[in-house]
Structure 1
Amino acid sequence: MLPSIPFNKPYLSGLEPRYIEEAVRSGKISGDGMFTQRCHRFFEEQLGFNKVLLTTSCTDALEMAALLLDLRPGDEVIVPSFTFVSTPNAFVLRGANIVFADSTAVNPNIDPACLSELVTPRTRAIVPVHYAGIACDMDAIQAVASRHGLAVIEDAAQAIDSFYNNRPLGTIGSLAAFSFHETKNITAGEGGMLSINDARFAQRAEVIREKGTNRSSFFRGEVDKYGWVDVGSSFLPSDIIAAYLYAQLEQLTNIQARRKTIWQAYYEAFRSLVAQGVGLPALPAYATNNWHLFYLVCRTLAERTALIDHLKERQILAVFHYLPLHSSPYYAAKHDGRTLPWADHYSNCILRLPLYYELNADLQYRIIDGVLSFYKNH
């Protein structure tokens, strides 16, 4: 029997255990230890971010963003329907109403053309999600936000090392959230990061992350004692998590080069399927590719289901992605009733193929052959 091919396998540089041991031996394994500071410096000094704070998850980073905006019950936040539940949930927890936007015909990113008509006097923010690490049309989104005085919060969960017109994703909106979940290019198992691009939020973000205290200022010697000064929660991760993450960050160039090779091999192999009506990832001129995932857009839900089964018979795990949130059991009754056809289309038709560092040429050939053999008969 052929060995099974998983959808994902986390990359391991080999230095993770060593750095974790260093963190443990340092005597400080709670938040903001030496490896947390190394990670912060990596993003700020090497990747050009203004200010970042590691968090325990991307979800936590989004929840911090919602707190920083001082959202109140009845406020509205515009979010794509085709995204993970963490994106709207962070704002729902603050009492905000979610206004779902459709995707574009080109790719699953939020459609800027529909945003203006969704804005009301209660709208506070737009949350674009850079699906598959491919940039949303940020100039168009920022133009709407500027015209109506709205904040833009980038959900950059999948977007590390990806750019919009030469600007790193996560540095464009007022705030941005990243994920280091084990399915991401760079991983800490779990973990995330808040990127702070509007200086007005910088000091308060530290307070919110430290349970509503000014403890960070105390450790810098800026105050002689710290106390409870704002709302907040325990959003900062252990330095053990940061140690694991730093070992990955050091290998960013290597990881990305390998993922690029795999992604491009898929793209070249499946270009012929376009003539049959099968969609491939689309890269707008303003965006770069960080090779986070490779997907096919099947023609129908039935076709995707059959292809998943076809690959499963060959010990290959390929998976679909998000269910549309506007019709979810929790939010359907709260949605305003608009149809969002592209969100439904991608939910029904996207199929993600295995893509991870250790996926060698022989295994990838099996996947490619499995897909092509399916379409030869369809």
Structure 2
Amino acid sequence: MIPFNKPFIVGNELKYIEEAVKSGKISGDGIFTKKCHAFFEEKFGFQKVLLTTSCTDALEMAAILCDIQQGDEVIVPSYTFVSSANAFVLRGAKIVFVDSYSDNPNMDPVEIEKHITEKTKVIVPVHYAGVACDMEKIMNLAKKHNLFVVEDAAQAIDSYYTFSDGTKKALGSIGDFAAFSFHETKNIISGEGGILVINNPTYNTRAEIIREKGTNRSAFFRGEVNKYGWVDLGSSFLPSEILSAFLYAQLENLDIIQQKRIRIWEQYYSNLMPLQEKGFIKLPEIPSYATNNAHMFYVICRSYEERSSLIQYLKAKDIHPVFHYLSLNKSEFFLKDNSPVDIPNSDHFTDCLLRLPFYYELEESEQKSINSLIHEYFSSLESQI
């Protein structure tokens, strides 16, 4: 079977893990953690970076830093992974779901503005497929209403947004905070793992404390205090050096990984374009203000039934595509305490979006087989008309 995803080794991952073990320190914040922090801050212009055990943990830290209180409202797209909302629910927030654009899954700023109230405290733009939300409009709304912006950039490593004045900034460097993922399905992987980005230095010290179980341990090890203790909320959010060592080896090869992924994305796009021209599917759209980091490739089918049929057709040929998010406004957890809300574009992507196999080691011959079988499937539909 051609799997949906396949973890990969591209450089010195195993060598660096061995070095970490032999160094005598495999708990967090060792030499490889520091190297990863420096890489992100220097390459992407992030003010401060802290490695975490997951993107979910980074979002939970951001929720604490935003000082979420019971009843605060947080605006989140309905079409996203549960962590985007759950991190704030854990702090007592009420989640307000907004819809996507009709032609791409990112949240629509027009819908955001409709849902801002006196209780709104945070906007959480999710850069779906690594493609930027319209951050200029979102940041203008945040400034107008004095709101925090927490970028869920789980899929958005090495992706950028261009402002109307021509300024280009890395995703994750624009909001107050950002969270990235290095789960094995992402462009850069460490199995599990993530980072919290802090773009306002006011929050640097507190972020370190939250990450270290609510203690000022980091300041102690820098010699800034003569003892450390419990000073704030927190949990154990930092990863081991083994994960950091694996991650750093991947970061060293970021450009190589990205070049390969972009080739795969472009081959999918060019080979499947005839099916879009015939009206069978819709392909991803990249807005003029966004770049494409080739995190995933998806197609949007015409109906739930057609997508389900295509999945079964491909699986029967040993190819494993997957559908993606289920609209959170229709989740069991949300409906337990909330009335149903109509979020049509999110529901459309829930029913019709299909992700194709996409990973660094996907061979050109395998990709040709996938494309050929998708064409074959739609040709069989065409012949039935």
Give me the TM-score of the superposition, normalised by structure 2.
0.96
Q: 1:76 aligns with which of 73, 79, 99?
A: 73
Is 1:110 the counterpart of 2:107 in the alignment?
yes
Instruction: Determine the C-alpha separation between the residues in 1 that align with 2:315 and 2:344.
Output: 29
User: SS of the residue aligned with 1:330?
Assistant: helix
Instruction: Determine the C-alpha separation between the residues in 2 that align with 1:270 and 1:358.
Output: 20
Instruction: Determine the C-alpha separation between the residues in 2 that align with 1:199 and 1:133.
Output: 26
Q: Is the 8 A contact 1:99 1:335 kept in 2?
A: no
Instruction: Determine the C-alpha separation between the residues in 2 that align with 1:356 and 1:178.
Output: 18
Q: 1:59 aligns with which of 51, 56, 59?
A: 56
Note the residue ranges of structure 1 that are not aligned, 5 or more in a row: none
Instruction: Determine the C-alpha separation between the residues in 1 that align with 2:106 and 2:339.
Output: 21
Is 1:375 the counterpart of 2:370 in the alignment?
no
Partner amino acid, structure 1, of 2:346? A
User: SS of the residue aligned with 1:13?
Assistant: coil
Instruction: Give 1:261 shift.
Output: 0.6
Q: Is the 8 A contact 2:51 2:196 kept in 1?
A: yes
Partner amino acid, structure 2, of 1:55? T
Is 1:262 the counterpart of 2:264 in the alignment?
yes
Q: Is the 8 A contact 2:216 2:229 kept in 1?
A: yes
* Deviations 1:193-239, CA, capped at 9 Å, x for gaps: 00000112111000000111111111111111111111100000011
Is 1:187 the counterpart of 2:185 in the alignment?
no
Instruction: Determine the C-alpha separation between the residues in 1 that align with 2:30 and 2:295.
Output: 29
Q: Is the 8 A contact 2:122 2:150 kept in 1?
A: yes
1:209 counterpart residue number:
211
Give me the TM-score of the superposition, normalised by structure 1.
0.98
User: SS of the residue aligned with 2:227?
Assistant: coil
Is 1:352 the counterpart of 2:355 in the alignment?
yes
Note the residue ranges of structure 2 that are not aligned, 5 or more in a row: 163-167
Instruction: Determine the C-alpha separation between the residues in 1 that align with 2:213 and 2:342.
Output: 40
Q: Is the 8 A contact 2:11 2:250 kept in 1?
A: no
Partner amino acid, structure 1, of 2:345? W
Is 1:317 the counterpart of 2:305 in the alignment?
no
Partner amino acid, structure 1, of 2:352? C
Partner amino acid, structure 1, of 2:246? Y
* Deviations 1:266-285, CA, capped at 9 Å, x for gaps: 00011111233311000000
User: SS of the residue aligned with 1:331?
Assistant: helix
2:249 counterpart residue number:
247
* Deviations 1:265-305, CA, capped at 9 Å, x for gaps: 00001111123331100000000000000000000000000
Instruction: Give 1:241 shift.
Output: 0.6
Partner amino acid, structure 1, of 2:53? T
User: SS of the residue aligned with 2:60?
Assistant: helix
Is 1:308 the counterpart of 2:305 in the alignment?
no
Instruction: Determine the C-alpha separation between the residues in 2 that align with 1:329 and 1:207.
Output: 34
Matches within 5 A, 1:124-273: 124-165=121-162, 166-273=168-275
* Deviations 1:150-191, CA, capped at 9 Å, x for gaps: 000000000000000121000000000000000000000000
Relative distance call for 1:76 and 1:336 in structure 2 (3 A) is farther
Number of aligned residue pairs: 375
Q: Percent identity?
A: 59
2:90 counterpart residue number:
93
Partner amino acid, structure 2, of 1:288? T
Is 1:6 the counterpart of 2:8 in the alignment?
no
